[in-house]
Amino acid sequence: MVVSRSLFDEVMVPNYAPAQIIPVKGQGSKLWDQAGKEYIDFAGGIAVNCLGHCHPALVSALKEQADKLWHLSNVLTNEPALLLAKALVDTTFAEKVYFANSGAEANEAALKLARRYAKDKYGEHKDQIISFKQGFHGRTFFTVTVGGQPAYSDGFGPKPEGIEHAEFNNLDSLKALISANTCAVMVEPMQGEGGVVPATNEFIRGVRELCDKHNALLIFDEVQTGVGRTGELYAYMAYGVTPDILTTAKALGGGFPIGAMLTTTEIAKHLVVGTHGSTYGGNPLACAVALAAVDTVNTPAVLNGVHSKAALFKQELQRINDKYPIFSEVRGMGLLIGAVLNADYAGKARDIMLAGAEHGVMTLVAGMNVVRFAPSLVIPDADIIEGMARFEQAIAQVVAATPAKQA
Ligand SMILES: Cc1ncc(COP(=O)(O)O)c(C=O)c1O
């Protein structure tokens, strides 16, 4: 049977609009499509493929576990889940771990835990959740409502209640909403989907103080920033501010679906037997791969490499921008980088991404005005240089196709 892009339109629910090409093979930071065309991958499966494609450590962990044990459910525990939980506890603030299958599920668990903790400790009235405009926390109905983009949560009937949105990087806006009724504040240390916007140090410290003042739990959604992306194992480490609950997914499995919620013993104890669960959460295959991913990423060589590779990315983007002034700002932390289009190219991020694919480089967008890069944390420098040469061709194409603004 011929597998072609048209089959997608025939048999798939139309909620995605994938590119016309279908990649069939990946190795390191390169992908190849059905026609054998090569692409440099600066997208990394949206910040998932932290070690690129088919990294030997992940392949061997998966193969080894595949021969041993695939699934038990949480009626029984398993060795890979316990080893991964121990590794996460040993390397972070956390004392307890809950496993899920995705970022949204990890966040769902975090939000339910925060509500239950507050109810048990302070009473029913303490149920308000505050998050931030333009934030993104997943697509379950609870998490998408906590997310700060109504376009994603509208149109599905009555929403979960008790959720309010403050302005990101604006403490006064949070101060105006937070009160004794607030059970939790959920925030991304750097908004990813919302445009690659890092939180300021002052903001993160201020959010922590306000949570402490009002007995609200601080939840860091590190689904996109976690597992080395920013050059620390978790971004909170760079801010020096410790959350009460942290969620992680995406890069945790390096491409194998897994999510986790990390917290303290004191908070975790409120999620007693029967209050929450998942059939697949803590699946041995997922946990074996994730353990290999965490062990491989959490080394000075990989984490320091993130900083030097990020500097090379930014240098290359600056070089391109000197030739074709198209970006007003290049921002981000570590290898989550956003190149913000200036007014002349407003709305063209998707055109640039598509032109990039034509020229053999995969990028992402974060909204209409930001081209986003979330490559492998171990991408070879030579692939960065080659990918940027291709990206430059894509920019040249878009610049040539954009009518010059009249002065
Ligand atoms: C910060 C953040 N939280 C949660 C999610 C949802 O993760 P998933 O798509 O695995 O449910 C995402 C996905 O982009 C994310 O960036």
Which atom of ligand 1 is nearest to 192's Cα?
16
User: 195 pLDDT exceeds 80?
Assistant: yes
Average pLDDT over residues 224-241: 98
| pLDDT band for position 407 (cuts 50, 70, 90) | very low
Does residue 403 have a pLDDT over 90?
no
Is-catalytic flag, 322? no
Give the whole-number percent of the chain exceeding pLDDT 90: 98
How far does the centroid of ligand 1 lie from the alpha carbon of residue 74, in Å? 24
Span 342-401, pLDDT tens digits: 999 999 999 999 999 999 999 999 999 999 999 999 999 999 999 999 999 999 999 999
User: How confident is the model at residue 80, as a pLDDT?
Assistant: 98
Q: What is the mean pLDDT of residues 218-247?
A: 98
Across the range 66-85, mean pLDDT stands at: 98
Distance 147 CA to ligand 1 centre (A): 10
Which pLDDT does position 406 carry in this prediction?
A: 52
Mean pLDDT of 200-211: 98
pTM of the model: 0.98
- Residue 31 in this model has a pLDDT that exceeds 90: yes
Please tell me if the CB atom of residue 360 comes closer than 6 angstroms to any atom of ligand 1: no
Nearest Cα residue to atom 7 of ligand 1: 103
Which of the listed residues 108, 111, 131, 136 should we mutate to test ligand 1's pocket, taking the one with most ligand atoms within 8 A of CB? 136
3-state per-residue secondary structure call for the chain: CCCCHHHHHHHCCCCCCCCCCCEEEEEECEEEECCCCEEEECCHHHHCCCCCECCHHHHHHHHHHHCCCCCCCCCCCCHHHHHHHHHHHHHCCCCEEEEECCHHHHHHHHHHHHHHHHHHHHCCCCCEEEEECCCCCCCCHHHHHHCCCHHHHCCCCCCCCCEEEECCCCHHHHHHHCCCCEEEEEECCEECCCCCEECCHHHHHHHHHHHHHCCCEEEEECCCCCCCCCCCCCCHHHHCCCCCEEEECHHHHCCCCCEEEEECHHHHCCCCCCCCCCCCCCCHHHHHHHHHHHHHHCCHHHHHHHHHHHHHHHHHHHHHHHHCCCEEEEEEECCEEEEEECHHHCCCHHHHHHHHHHCCEECEECCCCEEEECCCCCCCHHHHHHHHHHHHHHHHHHHHHCCCCCC
Active site residue 99: no
Mean pLDDT of the chain: 97
Task: Kindly give the distance from the C-alpha atom of residue 407 to the centroid of ligand 1, in angstroms, as a whole number.
Answer: 42
What pLDDT is recorded for position 6?
96
Asked whether residue 22 carries a pLDDT value surpassing 80, the answer given is yes
136 is catalytic: yes
